[in-house]
């Protein structure tokens, strides 16, 4: 009879344990256009070699061997990423706790009690000492999840764990992108430092030449002072870029989590192998695979499951307490035949009135709406980041080509102006103007080349690049 009762109870729990009162989850429509923006700024050149960012792991995207080693070190040592990984472990453990609530807690208890019984309470009519030994194996207050309250809480914990794991993925992609951009910034600043050092050498040579010409009466003191201003300007820039390179190295060391070998640092942008081209695809649906968007959706699912737990609070809660064991007045007779004992105590709690339950239910519904808004905002933010990156991608090559043409033209202007000044045809003012234009154009060209490299990284990150 007991065995049949236990079997029946197990079947009921199995059949009803999967039921929850959570509303059916439906993914909200993405509040962004289905296609990427089009127009003059989005003149993207589609390459057959381009690969979708979400299917491209960072080791394939980053082609520079030294940068690969730096990123590998950052993934192993960066403290922010380590915290993200530990948060995942914590969420996994919390999910394990919630899942374990569905199972009964079985414990073995051994007990010895000894008490003095007064004469008026004793069955013998005289005072006596009563001794009892017992050993029990039992279940203490196991809630049968008829209405899915515990299962809804378990589903909520699962979705929060998955959201935390996606947050870790997002942190890893951001770290890879941040290291790559810091590396490229150092390369650009080192190239700019080379430029200003070279410019300083040229300005000092011009200053010495004009000084000699001034000594023999072929140049005025005004020309000499103008040349000196160029030398001093170049000195300021050398100091500034020397400072920037040092700060770039400090930022890179912080991201990596340990000091880097000088052999791994870039000499200039020319020495850096550019990242691989990636494709944004034809549809913005790819954004739904971004880790931060997936994390927001898992949080939405967790809020949806929490509604089920709040609804279940309106229904009865059934719990069981049961034990089986042996008891005896003597320790030696504890396990003898005929000493068996058992207990079975089911309990049902029927909520009648609790205003907090209704308020808690309202809270869960509002939290779900908040999660919907956060999910939609994550998609909108992702769409804007990709659209901005595509706009840069469509125009940056044209800007570089135009800037290179400008550098070539200004360099020729400087050469002609210097030649005319040397022959005494023009004043030094035209040379000075050409020098400034050339110096500014060369710096702008470095900035644009850095922008092109950074755009590849930004597009890879915005599209939710692979791990």
> What pLDDT, in 10s, does the model give residues 382-406?
999 999 999 999 899 999 999 999 9
d(CA 235, CA 199): 9
pLDDT value at position 379?
94
Tokens at 354, concatenated: 């609790």
Report the C-alpha gap between 19 and 148 in whole angstroms: 5
* pLDDT of 360 strictly over 90: no
* pLDDT higher than threshold 70 for residue 50: no
User: Quick check: 8 pLDDT over 70?
Assistant: no
57 contact partners, CB below 8 Å, separation of at least 6: 465, 466, 467
> Which burial class, exposed, middle or buried, applies to 174 when counting CB atoms under 10 A from its CB (0-12, 13-18, 19+)?
middle
What pLDDT score was predicted for residue 49?
47
Give me the pLDDT at residue 48, please: 42
Look at residue 65 in the predicted model and tell me its pLDDT. Answer: 94
pLDDT of residue 301: 93
Using DSSP's 3-state secondary structure scheme, residue 341 falls into: strand
Q: Which residue has the higher pLDDT, 2 or 28?
A: 28
Per the CB < 8 A criterion, the answer to whether 269 and 188 are in contact is yes
Position with higher pLDDT, 50 vs 123? 123
Say what the pLDDT of residue 15 is. Answer: 46
Specify the pairing of strand 317-328 against strand 106-117. Answer: unpaired
CA nearest neighbour of 156 among 289, 22, 27, 290: 22
| Top-confidence range, 112-121, 158-167, 309-318, 319-328 | 158-167
pLDDT at 45: 52
Tell me how far apart the terminal alpha carbons of the chain are, to the nearest angstrom. Answer: 57
Q: Per-residue DSSP letters for 415-451?
A: HHHHHHHHTTSS-HHHHHHHHHHHHHHHHHHHHHHHH
Residue partners of 423: CB distance under 8 A and separation at least 6: none
Does residue 177 or residue 112 have the better pLDDT?
Answer: 177
φ/ψ (deg, to 5) at 141: 50, 65
CATH topology of domain 18-102+145-315+357-462: Outer membrane efflux proteins (OEP) (1.20.1600)
* Residue with more model confidence, 207 or 385: 385
Compute the average pLDDT of residues 170-178.
92
The first and second tokens of residue 456, run together, are: 């590849």
| Mean pLDDT to the nearest integer, 323-329 | 76
Supply the pTM of this predicted model: 0.82
Model confidence band, residue 456 (pLDDT cutoffs 50, 70, 90) = very high
88: Cα within 13 Å, side-chain hemisphere:
17
Q: Could you give the percent of the chain with pLDDT greater than 90?
A: 40
Residue 288 gets which letter from DSSP? G
446-460 average pLDDT score:
94
**Model confidence band, residue 207 (pLDDT cutoffs 50, 70, 90):** confident
pLDDT of residue 411 exceeding 50: yes
Which residues are bridge partners to 344 per DSSP? Answer: 322
What's the CA gap between 27 and 376, in Å, rounded? 10
Give pLDDT tens digits for 250-294.
999 999 998 999 999 999 999 999 999 888 887 888 899 999 999
CB atoms within 10 A of CB 155: 24
Q: Where are the domains of the chain?
A: 18-102+145-315+357-462, 104-144+316-350
Beta bridge partners of 283: 35
Average pLDDT, the chain: 84
> What is the side-by-side order of every strand in the sheet holding 106-117?
106-117, 128-144, 317-328, 340-349
3-state SS assignment for residue 108: strand
Highest mean pLDDT among 126-140, 225-239, 368-382: 368-382
Over range 407-419, report the average pLDDT. 89
Q: Among residues of the chain, what percentage have pLDDT more than 70?
A: 93
For 2-17, the DSSP string reads: HHHHHHHHHHHHHHHT
pLDDT grade for 313, boundaries at 50, 70 and 90:
confident
pLDDT of residue 268: 92
Which CATH number is associated with domain 104-144+316-350? 2.20.200.10
Q: Grade residue 1 by pLDDT with cuts at 50, 70 and 90.
A: very low
SS3 115: strand
């Amino acid at each position: 009879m007991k065995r049949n009762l236990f079997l029946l109870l197990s079947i009921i729990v199995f059949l009803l344990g999967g039921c929850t009162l959570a509303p059916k989850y439906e993914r909200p429509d993405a509040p962004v256009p289905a296609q990427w923006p089009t127009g003059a700024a989005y003149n993207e050149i589609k390459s057959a070699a381009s690969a979708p960012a979400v299917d491209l792991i960072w080791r394939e995207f980053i082609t520079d061997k030294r940068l690969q080693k730096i990123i590998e070190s950052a993934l192993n040592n960066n403290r922010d990423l380590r915290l993200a990984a530990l948060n995942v472990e914590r969420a996994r453990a919390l999910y394990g706790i919630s899942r374990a609530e569905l199972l009964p807690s079985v414990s073995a208890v051994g007990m010895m009690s000894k008490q003095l019984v007064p004469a008026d309470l004793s069955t013998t009519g005289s005072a006596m000492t009563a001794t009892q030994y017992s050993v029990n194996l039992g279940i203490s207050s196991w809630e049968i999840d008829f209405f899915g309250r515990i299962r809804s809480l378990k589903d909520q914990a699962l979705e929060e764990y998955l959201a935390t794991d996606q947050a870790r993925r997002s942190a890893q992609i951001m770290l890879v992108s941040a290291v790559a951009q810091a590396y490229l910034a150092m390369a650009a600043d080192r190239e700019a430092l080379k430029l200003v050092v070279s410019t300083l050498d040229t300005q000092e040579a011009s200053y010495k030449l004009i000084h000699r010409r001034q000594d023999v009466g072929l140049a005025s003191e005004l020309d000499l002072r103008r040349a000196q201003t160029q030398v001093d300007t170049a000195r300021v820039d050398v100091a500034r870029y020397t400072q920037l390179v040092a700060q770039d190295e400090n930022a890179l060391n912080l991201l990596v989590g340990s000091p880097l070998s000088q052999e791994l640092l870039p000499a200039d942008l020319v020495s850096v192998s550019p990242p691989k081209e990636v494709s944004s695809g034809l549809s913005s649906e790819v954004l739904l695979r971004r880790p931060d968007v997936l994390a927001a959706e898992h949080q939405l699912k967790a809020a949806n499951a929490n509604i089920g737990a709040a609804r279940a609070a309106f229904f009865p809660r059934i719990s069981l307490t049961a034990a089986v064991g042996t008891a005896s007045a003597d320790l030696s007779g504890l396990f003898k035949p005929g000493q068996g004992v058992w207990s079975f105590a089911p309990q049902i709690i029927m909520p009648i009135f609790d205003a907090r339950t209704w308020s808690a239910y309202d809270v869960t519904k509002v939290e779900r709406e908040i999660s919907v808004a956060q999910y939609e905002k994550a998609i909108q933010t992702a769409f804007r980041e990709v659209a901005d990156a595509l706009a840069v991608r469509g125009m940056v090559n044209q800007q570089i080509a135009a800037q290179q043409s400008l550098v070539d033209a200004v360099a020729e202007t400087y050469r002609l102006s210097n030649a005319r000044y040397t022959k005494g045809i023009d004043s030094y003012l035209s040379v000075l103007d050409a020098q400034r234009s050339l110096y500014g154009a060369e710096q702008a060209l470095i900035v644009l080349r850095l922008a092109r490299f950074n755009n590849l990284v930004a597009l890879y990150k915005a599209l939710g690049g692979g791990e």
